[in-house]
């Protein structure tokens, strides 16, 4: 009987850790027409931050190009679609107008140092454990509501726990993947 009690206690002690790990690896997907948005996320912000970046994977399963032209986020006054570009050896961020084109069969990765969305004029600090809702507006597919998960400060890829990435010779240029 005592052995059973010890095993039961150990199982209960491990249950929250297992549930947390399962929650961490769950991938969120949102679909509007032929556009699939996978794992929208952002990072924790310091107290004084007025801006933050948003990241995700967008796949166009359709037969015609579509463009991410706008969006909203409950935590910010403004939302913009941005890209990072090299200008005379200096990496610069700029708004992408009229938006980000996703060609048929293409997956575009919005990630730090590349394409991303900007939350401008933060209304509150972004904190771990406090996901927030927003919308994405596509020229053809229309509007869809999404939810951003929150990763630790310094995260480069969801789930890395904010660990710094090893330095590489990458320039941060845009990375598009085709299926």
Give the pLDDT confidence score for residue 168 in this predicted structure: 38
Give the pLDDT confidence score for residue 153 in this predicted structure: 85
CB 25 within 8 A of CB 48: no
Give the pLDDT confidence score for residue 163 in this predicted structure: 52
Measure Cα distances from 124 to 40, 55, 75, 152 in Å: 19, 19, 6, 16
Give the pLDDT confidence score for residue 142 in this predicted structure: 98
Task: Collect the ranges in the chain with pLDDT lower than 50.
Answer: 1-25, 165-179
Give the pLDDT confidence score for residue 53 in this predicted structure: 97
CB 102 within 8 A of CB 56: no
What is the C-alpha to C-alpha distance for residues 94 and 6, in angstroms, rounded to an integer?
59
Give the pLDDT confidence score for residue 158 in this predicted structure: 74
Q: What is the pTM of this model?
A: 0.75
Give the pLDDT confidence score for residue 8 in this predicted structure: 39
CB 95 within 8 A of CB 141: no
What is the C-alpha to C-alpha distance for residues 124 and 122, in angstroms, rounded to an integer?
5
Instruction: Write down the domain spans for the chain.
Output: 28-162+172-176
Fold classification of 28-162+172-176 is Immunoglobulin-like (2.60.40)
Give the pLDDT confidence score for residue 27 in this predicted structure: 79
């Amino acid at each position: 009987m005592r052995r059973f009690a010890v095993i039961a206690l150990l199982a209960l002690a491990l249950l929250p850790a297992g549930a947390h790990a399962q929650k961490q690896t769950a991938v969120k997907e949102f679909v509007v027409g032929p556009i699939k948005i996978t794992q929208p996320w952002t990072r924790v912000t310091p107290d004084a931050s007025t801006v933050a970046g948003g990241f995700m994977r967008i796949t166009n399963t359709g037969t015609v190009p579509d463009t991410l032209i706008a969006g909203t986020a409950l935590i910010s006054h403004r939302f913009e679609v941005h890209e990072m570009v090299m200008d005379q050896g200096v990496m610069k961020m700029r708004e992408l107008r009229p938006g980000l084109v996703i060609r048929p069969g293409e997956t575009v990765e919005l990630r730090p140092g590349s394409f991303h969305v900007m939350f401008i004029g933060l209304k509150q600090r972004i904190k771990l454990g406090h996901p927030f809702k927003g919308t994405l507006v596509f020229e053809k597919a229309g509007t869809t509501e999404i939810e951003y998960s929150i990763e630790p400060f310094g995260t480069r890829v969801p789930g890395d726990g904010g660990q710094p990435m090893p330095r590489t010779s990458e320039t941060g240029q845009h990375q598009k993947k085709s299926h």
